[in-house]
Amino acid sequence: MELNIVCIPGDGIGPEIVAEARKVLEKVALVFGHKMNFKDILMGGASIDVHGVPLTKEAVEDAKASDAVLMGSIGGDTTTSPWYKLPPDKRPEAGLLGIRKALNLFANLRPAVLYDELANACPLKKEISGDGFDIMIMRELTGGLYFGERRTTEENGVRTAVDTLVYNENEIRRIAVKGFDIAKKRRGKVTSVDKANVLDSSRLWRKVVEEVAQNYPDVVLEHMLVDNCAMQLVKNPAQFDVILTENMFGDILSDEASMVTGSIGMLASASLNDSKFGLYEPSHGSAPDIAGKDIANPIATVLSAAMMLRYSFDLDREADAVEEAVKQVLKEGYRTGDIMSEGCTQVGCREMGDLLASKIG
């Protein structure tokens, strides 16, 4: 397979972690007989420094012309970096919002996996975390409360604020289809999370998800209210496979799920559109405090690259090989500083990338 991958190294630790993910992808290409063409584009602070804006039209065109985008992270120290003296629409984050919009990325995927070797980092009691868990949170990214009409008014000295939560059936259907498709590649279970006991938008959500489920007889569907889901995540996380939910519920639940894994340097993510195209990036930020020191953990970016292989290219064997390499390296006791524990061998970002690449093939 010939694949054109656009890389956005970005700011802070971004260039370091993307270099390691690319190293792993290059090894995958070599071992499995693919041709991967990489092209770097600028975004965020790196683009501001060169072009005066966080994202150029040319960069968007390059991303659109690619098969998938692999990103590090953008942004700097928000108190000291001169980027944050610029108006909001010229700051690094505006680049990320701009590219998500331009590429129509409406489905956000955030896995929360507890690895046996990192079980100590999990804040849950051993009897709850049990044999670990592997959850995929699928969050709708372009609708709901964050994009509905909003206003603040004042009448007779009393201020009133209104936000509106709007979903139409098409928006619900397209994310539900993604959720079921992804459950088919996993353990075949979708938990659709809503607040159907109160909200009309949730009642429509539930109906449309049920309609979509008709086309997936081999996937088990259950519904769960969002308040219960928040509790179940810390009570019995292993019950979940794919959690499918709207924008704000997903925002909150995905942070909760990632916290229960205990390590920010391990968390991948993907944002997809309605074709197989996606932007893949770690869940963490650009960590300016550790940039350029060769101590960042590249695993979240490497696992994001594995998601790219699986969800954009349908290269499941190759994705399995990358995920297996991560497990193997952890099993052998290698750790970057953020996940270091007694008795393990501490390695830097580059060495971790070398180790991961060496386990493929």
* Contact set with ligand NAD (CB under 6 A): 13, 73-76, 78, 93, 96, 264-265, 281, 284-290, 296-297, 300, 338
Minimum CB–partner distance for residue 260 and ligand NAD (Å): 17
227 is annotated as an active-site residue? yes
CB of 321 to ligand NAD, least distance (A): 22
C-alpha span between 60 and 70 (Å, rounded): 13
| CB nearer ligand NAD, residue 11 or residue 67 | 11
Q: Which two tokens stand for residue 200?
A: 């009309």
Cβ proximity to ligand NAD, 96 vs 118, nearer residue: 96
49, 255, 314, 320: which one is catalytic? 255
In order of 136, 190, 226, 227, 255, the CA distances from 223 in angstroms are: 16, 8, 9, 12, 20
User: Cα–Cα distance between 328 and 309 in angstroms, integer?
Assistant: 19
Which residue in the list 84, 146, 163, 359 is annotated as catalytic? 146
Cα(74)–Cα(99) distance, integer angstroms: 12
Rounded CA-CA distance 60/41 in Å is 9
Residue 118, token pair as written in the block: 């990192």
CB of 76 within 8 A of CB of 19? no
Token couple for 271: 């944002």
251 is catalytic: yes
Least distance from ligand NAD to the Cβ atom of residue 209, Å: 28
Q: How far is the CB of 300 from ligand NAD (least distance, A)?
A: 6
User: Nearer to ligand NAD by C-beta: 213 or 248?
Assistant: 248
Residue 213 has, within 13 A of its CA and on its CB side, a CA count of 17
Residue 118 or 300: which CB sits closer to ligand NAD? Answer: 300
Least spacing, CB of residue 115 vs ligand NAD, in Å: 15
Question: Which CB, 48 or 74, lies closer to ligand NAD?
Answer: 74
* CA dist., res. 139 & res. 251, Å (int): 7
Nearest approach in angstroms of CB 108 to ligand NAD is 11
DSSP letter for each residue of 196-225: TTT-HHHHHHHHHHHHHHTT-TTSEEEEEE
Q: What is the DSSP string of 86-142?
A: S-GGGSHHHHHHHHHHHTT--EEEEEEE--GGGGGG--S-HHHHTT--EEEEEEE-S
CA distances from 345 to 104, 192, 209, 307, 308 (A): 42, 41, 47, 27, 29
CB of 255 to ligand NAD, least distance (A): 11
Active-site choice (185, 195, 327, 359)? 195
* Residues whose CB is less than 8 angstroms from the CB of residue 22 and which lie 6 or more positions away in sequence, other chains included: 7, 38, 70, 305
Closer residue to ligand NAD in complex, CB, 127/289: 289
Please say which residue, 138 or 264, places its beta carbon nearer to ligand NAD: 264
Decide if 115 is catalytic.
Answer: no
- Write down the catalytic residue from 227, 314, 316, 320: 227
Q: Is 255 a catalytic residue?
A: yes
Catalytic residue positions, numbered: 146, 195, 227, 251, 255
